Structure 1
């Protein structure tokens, strides 16, 4: 089988990490994969990583996040030409605008389209204008979708309002490749201040500000500052750096984007992810793989990922609640170890790359069967 994956941008992010992992694992399982990436950036991180894995990459400069009708038509036409040249059996789109362009190109070339929803833009938490436009787009294009993949059951329930038969909607949880990283004994011992890590793009819907305020409150409660590292770049990075400075936080680091997330997490004991809304966050699965104690936002997709208190602490968007949850873990090495082991076990059972790719292949087979 030959599949052309399509993604809106090649920046560092959860959807991009998903595509890279999926492509590598599908290749191992015998699927011929190529990737079309939107945007005009000369060497986006995703393209570099794919090429390093010997995967073919194509560029669609007109494809971007903005809903500009002229650019959408240009991108769809360019992708149409790519499909006619490469003759894939399927198009597999990731993220909203790639979903728009791929479904138009699929209709023009009579190529089936799989659309993975990493998080609907019409759900609560987005501005109402964006929600309205996103819902209209998804409604109009649903009939052009051969199969839809949702990364959580919460997203699947949202999909059921669209004019798409429920049998064409599947839930496939994100997965990440397992990696062998030398452990760091400092991350799990009873030191005074176990280090905290957050991996997130510094932009909405992520909320590093909540953690920064919680760290300031913890400093007052504990009498010392807990070290924390924020991994990830983005348009709000400077604003969060400024907030840390205003709060007088001395043990906070902002690294920007990094390539060695697994190795970096091995140097930390506690993982946090604060966000206003999520699908099924890749960064949390990476933390589960690392066997870290986790504190994260209490959101539908995250509840699905980490359903029990044994797996993680899920907290509301209140710095005091975050500070309380973090203090509990900081003061109990035994609790950190138990939660980290439970999170790692859940990763092994449900969120490996192999499991994800096998499920995606079954969707591909259904999409190309005569009884689709």
Structure 2
């Protein structure tokens, strides 16, 4: 007589991120939660009270709000957040923790080490890049150096981030490069249409530079065109005041926009200015829409966009050059169309959601099995 086979236990994956607000890292986490395969229980742990909790719940994930987890730099606040996280993880009992963002990445790696749970750490952008302020750069490098050995696997979203990761005490075979991916949509822009709208989608906080975009837009000789700065954050009020001073009545601040695809489809040009970046999702969204892109000339963005082929790369602190790039694109509808078509094709070839999900789950399997093998999606 043979006994019936017992059902396999469900795999439990915990995704930890500092804040539940809208942003690139949060969109990345949302995609992972929504694309989890059958037989997997996904758990979201995050601070704040943002829309990511609702997205996770609708995807069938178990949601845990961490009241003490935030971006504050207070060591005492961090200790309290770690205690709260440890208690939550003991109750959730995940098989693996996938951490995102700086503070959650630090606390999650410590918690995983203390509880004996493997941790996968996705680096959406190291904070010790040369472009970052010295104090922030130094603190970030020390923290990453101390915590690097605690991650079973490190996922970098760009080759530029992998090069930084190699300067840390982490074995090369534990580092994977998986480019960000986003799902397709049927909403497309018509960049060759008469220029009426330029859009930037970003949080109003460092390292984003909406001030540089406002200044370049105000300087450029553009008529019958509005600049839309979508997003929210601590610098929004200051940017509204700057826009009123430099380009009164010509800059809109709609806040967090639920349907980004529709907003981008209504535009003819997309811009993004940042002091440093990993592989920004907002640029991918613009590429998916078939928009011509003007973006800061940064290593991660250079992996997305080749200058004069998929968009224009600029030094956002060079106001005359940034304005000239805006004027060039705005005056040349065929160029906007050609760049937009090339950007869309590049997105189709390299930045779809399926590639990212498949590669990420391969890293999960390796971390759980303890097999040192790097996964990579071409960028």
Tell me, yes or no, whether TM beats 0.5: yes
Q: Is 1:74 the equivalent of 2:83?
A: no
Matching residue of 1:330: 330
Q: Aligned to 1:164, which of 170, 173, 182?
A: 170
SS of match in other structure, 2:290 = coil
> Are residues 1:13 and 2:20 paired?
no
Counterparts of 1:29 and 1:205, CA distance in 2: 37
Give the drift of 1:250.
2.7
2:359 paired with 1:359: yes
Q: CA deviation at 1:370?
A: 4.1
Equivalence for 2:220: 218
Checking the alignment, whether the CA contact within 8 Å between 1:295 and 1:325 is kept in structure 2 is yes
User: Over the residues paired in the alignment, what is the CA RMSD in angstroms?
Assistant: 1.7
Unaligned stretches of 5+ in structure 2?
A: 1-10, 373-379
TM score, norm. by length of structure 1: 0.92
Report the equivalent of 1:371. 371
Q: 140, 147, 150: which is aligned to 1:141?
A: 147
Secondary structure of 2:120's aligned partner: strand
299-308 vs 242-251, greater mean Cα deviation: 242-251
Residue 23 of structure 1 deviates from its aligned partner by 1.6
> Cα deviation per residue 1:92-130 (whole Å; 9 max; x = unaligned)?
000111111111111121000001111111122222222
- Deviation for aligned residue 1:28: 4.5
Q: Distance in 1 between matches of 2:326 and 2:40?
A: 43
Q: Structure 2 length as normaliser, TM-score?
A: 0.91
C-alpha separation in 2, matches of 1:163 and 1:262: 40
Equivalent position to 2:113, from 95, 107, 113: 107
Q: Relative to structure 1, is the Cα distance of residues 103 and 268 closer, same or farther in structure 2, using a 3 angstrom cutoff?
A: same
Which residue does the alignment assign to 2:284? 285
**Closer, same or farther in 2 for the Cα pair 1:348/1:248, shift >3 Å?**
closer
Query: How do 1:176-255 and structure 2 match up within 5 A?
Result: 176-181=182-187, 183=188, 187-191=190-194, 193-219=195-221, 224-255=223-254
* TM-superposed deviation, 1:234: 1.1
Q: Cα distance 1:29–1:319, how it changes in 2: closer, same or farther (>3 A)?
A: farther
Structure 1: how far apart are the matches of 2:214 and 2:254?
A: 15
Q: Equivalent residues in 2 for 1:278-357 (5 A)? A: 278-317=277-316, 318-357=318-357
CA distance in 2, matches of 1:70, 1:167: 35
TM-superposition CA deviations, 1:271-326 (whole Å, max 9, x none): 00011111110100110111101011100110011134211100112221122212
Match of 2:99 among 93, 99, 104: 93
Distance in 2 (CA, whole Å) between partners of 1:143 and 1:78 is: 23
Query: What secondary structure does 2:344 align onto?
Result: helix
CA distance in 2, matches of 1:50, 1:268: 30
Q: Output the CA distance in 2 between the equivalents of 1:319 and 1:158.
A: 29
Q: By how many angstroms is 1:225 displaced?
A: 4.7
Asked whether the equivalents of residues 218 and 226 of structure 1 are also in contact (C-alpha less than 8 Å), the reply is no
| Structure 1 residue matching 2:220: 3-state secondary structure | helix
TM-aligned CA deviation for residue 247 of structure 1:
1.4
Misfit runs of 4+, over 6 Å: none
Shift of residue 135 of structure 1?
1.3
Distance in 2 between residues matched to 1:107 and 1:116, nearest whole Å? 17
The count of aligned residue pairs is 361
